Each structure stands twice: as structure tokens, then as C-alpha cells.
Structure 1
Amino acid sequence: MKTRFALVLALSVAASAQADDVADVWKAKCKSCHGDDGKAKTKVGEREKIGDMSLPEWQKNHSDEKIRQAITEGVSGSKMKGYKDKLSTEEIDALVKYVRGLQAK
């Protein structure tokens, strides 16, 4: 029983640490344009006409692969540069999930 509890505790701590890590990546790399909440209500977001990631319509029109590609390669015709040389595959995958979590309920 103690072993099971220790395993559950370790997994919970690891999941929490990963959530903190992706939030830190978002703050460092994404927040200045997309905002805390993905609504892009920032100077850059409004100037560049960045879409509101929290809207169900935005979420529906952007597959995980499309989001992953934007993060990895950047977005053509915009100021967004790719992060393939700055973020690991795991960090990019975590950001895709983070973006999915921005959807307004």
C-alpha cells in the first residue's frame, strides 16, 4: 500500500511540475503576444490581429498538428517565428495541450 501511495504521489508531483514548466514556457515565449489567457488582448496581439485562442471557433479550426506546426515553424506572413531550435519536442507538445486548455468554457 505504501508503494502504491508513493507512486501516486510521485506521479502527481511530476504532473504538477510539468504543468508549472509549460506555464513558465508560455509566460516566457507566448504571453507577450497571446496574453495570459490566449485572447491576444496585448499591444502586439491587437496590432498583428492575432486570433483569440479561447474561442470555440478558433479551437475547432486549429488542429493539434496545425498548432504544433505554428509553434515549431512559425506562421508565414506574421511576426511569429518558429521555436524548433529553442524548445524541445516535449515542450512543444505541452504547449499544444496548454493552448487546448485555453478554450472558454
Structure 2
Amino acid sequence: MGAFTTMTSKGQLTIPKAVRDALKLVPGTKFFVTVRDGQVVASPKNRQVKDLAGMLGRPPSGEVLSVEQMNEAVRGIAGEEDERITRQWRDGRK
């Protein structure tokens, strides 16, 4: 699906209604905009991580974590990585 639109002097585009409807876009939807092979690509970020739950099936280990447990694990890893980077910076290493 595609449609033509025109960029305003402020760099704004209107997403045609047929495209908004097809993607279930609502006012306030955030987009990630990038350039790929000389084209503007705008990807809507209208899904949350929790919407993706279960799409890969049950984990091979059989262990199921809650969102809170996953968030805690990510925070722990991010904290460890921050400490490692800070140590390297202080030591003058790259």
C-alpha cells in the first residue's frame, strides 16, 4: 500500500487516511525515521514490549519470567555494564 503526500515548509508530512487506518495509527503515535537506500523510512512505534509476549513460544528452558523479573535483569546488566565502562574510562583504556 502506498499513497502520495507533500512535505510542508516545516518538514511535516500528512499520513494519508488509508495508511493510518491500515496501520491503526492514532494521534500522538511516535515514529522512528531513518534513511535506507536513499529513501525515508518511518516506522511507527505503536507497540509495547508486552504486546510481543509469547510470540516466540515457550522458552527452551521452560522458565517463564514476569515483566518485573525481566526489567530487574536488564537493570542489573545495564548497571554492571555502566560500572565496567566507568572503570575503563578511569583507567584510561578504550
Interval containing the TM-score (normalised by the shorter chain): under 0.3
**Higher percent of residues as strand:** 2
Higher Cα Rg, which structure: 2
TM-score, normalized by length of structure 2? 0.25
